[in-house]
Structure 1
Amino acid sequence: MPKSRINKSTAPVSGGGANRVPVKINASGTPLWYKIIMFGLMLAGLAWLVVNYLAGTQIPLMLELGPWNYLIGFSLFILGLLMTMGWR
């Protein structure tokens, strides 16, 4: 079988392509106050749930809130988790 000829015009040309330099979207980063609030909400929710579970019957405020205790604790924790989606 005969070999095909390679034309100079069909040879691949290097360079001149698209610019492929990665660009960081959030170059400044997340502010410190945002991180403090995020972790604070998560820790507050976790602490609320642990205290309610261990000593809920001995604390008058926990008795008054009744079943709302778990909703408050989970809400605080979930708000902190939602903040992990990022700062824009």
Structure 2
Amino acid sequence: MPKSQVRKKKVYTPPTDIRPAATAASKKPSPMWLPITAVALIVIGIAWLVVYYLSSQQYPVEAWRYWNLAVGFGCMVASLGILSRWR
């Protein structure tokens, strides 16, 4: 049986008037404070939760009760938001 011919597709290149141009501003590296702040927020959030559980819900702030969980997880979610800006 004869082998069928393989078709090769052309590589698509968009027209130059549609293609987005990379600007110099988008290639700037992130400031040094960004990863430091994100890691600090992660550590603070984990430490807050560990202290909350190990102290039988008395510390860091006893009056907040279960809102202490929101503070700990909120710090970690905020760090994810900051890390999404990291280049």
Report TM bin, short chain: 0.5 to 0.7
Any idea what SS the aligned residue of 2:69 has? helix
Where does 1:31-70 land on structure 2 (aligned, <5 Å)? Answer: 31-59=31-59, 61-70=60-69
* Aligned amino acid, residue 75 of structure 1: G
* Aligned amino acid, residue 39 of structure 2: F
Contact 1:57 1:63 in 2 (8 A): yes
TM-score after normalising by structure 2? 0.61
Contact 2:35 2:86 in 1 (8 A): no
TM-score after normalising by structure 1? 0.60
In structure 1, distance between residues paired with 2:30 and 2:57: 40
Whether 2:65 is the aligned partner of 1:81: answer no
The Cα of 1:58 is off from its aligned counterpart by 4.5
In structure 2, distance between residues paired with 1:57 and 1:38: 26
The Cα of 1:26 is off from its aligned counterpart by 4.3
How many correspondences in the alignment? 69
The Cα of 1:37 is off from its aligned counterpart by 1.0
Contact 1:56 1:62 in 2 (8 A): no
- Are the structure 2 counterparts of residues 31 and 85 from structure 1 closer, same or farther at C-alpha, using a change threshold of 3 Å? same
Structure 2, gaps ≥5 residues long = 1-15, 17-21
Structure 1, gaps ≥5 residues long = 1-17
- Are the structure 2 counterparts of residues 46 and 56 from structure 1 closer, same or farther at C-alpha, using a change threshold of 3 Å? same
RMSD: 3.0
